[in-house]
């Protein structure tokens, strides 16, 4: 029965089932999803169903119809797909089982309580302290240029600071020179191992997303188990300066009928969610800024203006809520980098047969169990919405007054969903404000403390995105590029973020607040 070709029923959207049994159009889709969807849209219109690896996906490609999907009526379920996938990849419990239902709802509400609103201020404050500490430990202090891969540099700094902010740090005890605030070699080595395991695990995501069982991706499986070992509750309990997000999740999981490995699996999923998109997004923001002389000079002027107001340039940077919010140039650079590199897919499962009505009034009959999919890259690369869509224009998200631009049009109508790197509706990323904030702070610190430029040969050629990860979020570059950097001469005494130290929420009196 599985091999019997599905017939299009009256009222259903056009069906692209390909000619290969089971796979359907999986190969064409997998080669270049954006090109495939554009072609099919031209042929079939704004709604069509594709058979991909035995499953039926109905793509809604008209951005004006997105709100009807993300409003998530009773017929469209987000959790069924997301939890099934997450369980398979991270090896945690099946949270759709009735025994976990109430506990899971509570766990889900923790995202918003700890990543947004007043908690975000604390989290951002902690991240700023950790970023300054990591930079202080890693960057050259003399006047010579250091040379490194931009991706490896970004991953190192952002992974370490992000990890310490979310999971806290192991108590390393006083170091030989008596400096309690320094991370000694032992815990530094530990952090490098965690980062290495994370990258190995993350690299296997395209295969796992395509359905390959993790046990067949042996290196990824071993890396995942090593991460789960690091994030088990007895170890985490020894960490200090842990975020409220993880503290509250630990309490919630302790009150559920889960074994220790099952609890650790949920923390591995949180580690992945907090890092997998942030690292490439930070990379592209920095890369595009360094590649564009206009972007770099506008960003530097903005940072100098804002940071100089905040007191003693020799002290670790403190940034108030208003100051961070007033950095529209950096905001525009990050949003433009996200627009160019984001290739996520939003999926819902039809929990019943129903009829979907598009914004135009056109209807489409949907079968129970089919997937409804939206692919925001179609919007991000639409030349009608974004002229010269493949070009980086640092001021694309600035209006005439130099403030954040939020008016974009298609067919003369204003769009609600013009930039969707964080998803939308029930599945919208709860960490989006924190993500914007941490990338902004990363750029502020680099611009303030360092001179940085792409190595000459790398400055001339354009990097491309790694499309094998299409559907998974922010695409990384296909290769790394060299960057050189040194301490920015400022005054005789100011150099790098000297006094910064790793901080947890509430550890520091710096003020960093961000707007949602």
Output the known binding site for heme: 429
474 binds ligand HEM, rule: CB under 6 A: yes
Nearer to ligand HEM by Cβ, of 38 and 108: the residue is 108
Stretch that binds ligand HEM, among 4-12, 16-24, 269-277, 399-407 (CB under 6 A): 269-277
Q: Which of 90, 163, 356, 422 binds ligand HEM (CB under 6 A)?
A: 422
Scored b (16 or more CB within 10 A) or e, 414-430 reads ebebbbbbbbbbbbebb
CA pair distance 259, 253, nearest whole angstrom: 9
Query: Would you give the end-to-end CA distance of the chain in angstroms?
Result: 50
**Pair 380, 417: CB distance under 8 Å:** no
Minimum distance, C-beta of residue 380 to ligand HEM, in the bound complex (Å): 12
Sign of CA dihedral 228, 230, 233, 236: negative
Alpha-carbon dihedral 338, 341, 342, 344, rounded to 10 degrees: -160
Q: How far is the CB of 188 from ligand HEM (least distance, A)?
A: 23
What x-and-dash track marks residues 228-267 binding ligand HEM by CB under 6 A? ----------------------------------------
- 175 by DSSP, 3-state: which? coil
Residue 285 is a binding residue for ligand HEM (CB under 6 A): no
Q: Which residue is nearest to ligand HEM (CB)?
A: 431
CB 347 within 8 A of CB 373: yes
**Annotated binding-site members:** 88, 277, 429
Site stretch for ligand HEM (CB under 6 A), options 31-39, 272-280, 463-471, 496-504: 272-280
What are the φ and ψ backbone dihedral angles of 470, each rounded to 5 degrees? -55, 135
- In the complex, minimum distance from the CB of residue 192 to ligand HEM, in angstroms, rounded to a whole number: 21
Phi, psi for residue 260 in degrees, rounded to 5? -65, -40
Site membership for ligand HEM, residue 421 (CB under 6 A): yes
Q: What is the DSSP string of 441-491?
A: HHHHHHHHHEEEEE-HHHHHS---B-GGGTBEEEPPBSS--EEEEEEPP-S
Binding test (CB under 6 A) with ligand HEM, winner from 214, 281, 327, 330: 281
Site size toward ligand HEM (CB under 6 A) is 21
Contact flag: residue 168 with ligand HEM (CB under 6 A): no
Give the nearest distance from C-beta 496 to ligand HEM in angstroms: 25
Q: Which stretch binds ligand HEM (CB under 6 A): 64-72, 138-146, 247-255, 426-434?
A: 426-434
Instruction: Starting at the earlier edge strand, list the strands of the sheet with 450-454.
Output: 146-149, 482-487, 450-454
437 near ligand HEM, judged by CB under 6 A:
no
* 125 part of the interface to ligand HEM, by CB under 6 A: no
Report CA-CA distances (Å) from 227 to 251, 366, 417.
20, 40, 36
Q: How far is CA 509 from CA 114, 190, 239, in A?
A: 19, 28, 21
- Applying the rule CB under 6 A, the residues between 75 and 94 that interact with ligand HEM are 82
Considering only 14, 111, 140, 152, the residue that binds ligand HEM (CB under 6 A) is 111
Q: Does the footprint of ligand HEM cover residue 278 (CB under 6 A)?
A: yes
Which residue number, 111 or 450, has a Cβ lying nearer to ligand HEM?
111
CA distances from 213 to 233, 250, 369 (A): 26, 27, 22
- The piece of 380-388, 415-423, 456-464, 499-507 that touches ligand HEM (CB under 6 A) is 415-423
Interface residues toward ligand HEM, by CB under 6 A:
82, 111, 115, 273-274, 277-278, 281, 344, 346, 421-423, 427, 429-431, 434-435, 473-474
């Amino acid at each position: 029965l599985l091999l019997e070709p599905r017939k299009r029923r009256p009222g259903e959207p056009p069906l692209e089932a390909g000619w290969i049994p089971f796979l359907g159009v999986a190969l064409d889709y997998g080669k270049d999803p954006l090109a495939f969807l554009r072609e099919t849209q031209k042929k079939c219109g704004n709604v069509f169903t594709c058979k991909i690896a035995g499953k039926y996906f109905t793509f809604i490609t008209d951005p004006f119809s997105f709100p009807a999907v993300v409003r998530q009526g009773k017929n469209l379920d987000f959790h069924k797909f997301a939890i099934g996938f997450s369980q398979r990849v991270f090896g945690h419990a099946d949270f759709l089982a009735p025994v976990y239902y109430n506990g899971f709802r509570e766990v889900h509400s923790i995202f918003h309580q700890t990543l947004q609103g007043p908690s975000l201020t604390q989290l951002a404050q902690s991240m700023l302290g950790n970023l300054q500490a990591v930079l202080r430990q890693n960057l050259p202090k003399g006047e010579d240029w250091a040379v490194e891969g931009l991706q490896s540099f970004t991953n190192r700094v952002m992974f370490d600071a992000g990890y310490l902010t979310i999971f806290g740090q192991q108590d390393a005890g006083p170091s030989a020179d008596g400096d309690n605030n320094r991370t000694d070699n032992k815990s530094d080595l530990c952090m490098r191992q965690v980062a290495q395991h994370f990258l190995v695990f993350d690299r296997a995501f395209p295969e796992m997303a395509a359905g390959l069982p993790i046990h067949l991706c042996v290196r990824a499986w071993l890396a995942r188990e090593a991460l789960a070992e690091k994030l088990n509750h007895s170890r985490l309990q020894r960490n200090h300066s842990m975020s409220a997000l993880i503290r509250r999740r630990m309490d919630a999981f302790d009150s559920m009928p889960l074994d220790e490995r099952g609890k650790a699996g949920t923390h591995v999923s949180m580690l992945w969610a907090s890092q997998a998109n942030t690292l490439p997004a930070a990379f592209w923001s920095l890369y595009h800024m360094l590649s564009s002389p206009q972007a770099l000079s506008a960003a530097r002027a903005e940072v100098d203006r804002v940071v100089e107001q905040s007191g003693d340039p020799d002290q670790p940077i403190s940034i108030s809520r208003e100051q961070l919010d007033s950095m529209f140039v950096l905001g525009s650079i990050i949003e433009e980098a996200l627009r160019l590199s984001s290739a996520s897919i939003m999926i819902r499962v039809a929990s019943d047969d129903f009829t979907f009505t598009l914004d135009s009034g056109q209807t489409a009959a949907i079968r129970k169990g089919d997937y409804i999919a939206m692919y925001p890259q179609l919007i991000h690369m639409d030349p009608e919405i974004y002229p010269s869509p493949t070009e980086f224009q640092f001021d694309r998200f600035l209006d005439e007054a130099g403030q954040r631009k939020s008016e974009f049009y298609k067919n003369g109508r204003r769009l609600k969903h013009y930039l969707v790197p964080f998803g939308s509706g029930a599945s919208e990323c709860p960490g989006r404000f924190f993500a914007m904030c941490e990338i902004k702070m990363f750029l502020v610190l680099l611009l303030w403390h360092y001179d940085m430029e792409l190595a000459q040969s790398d400055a001339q050629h354009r990097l491309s995105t790694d499309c094998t990860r299409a559907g998974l979020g922010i695409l990384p570059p296909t290769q790394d590029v060299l960057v050189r950097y040194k301490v920015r001469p400022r005054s005789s005494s100011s150099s790098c973020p000297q006094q910064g130290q790793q901080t947890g929420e509430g550890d520091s009196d710096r003020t960093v607040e961000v707007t949602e």
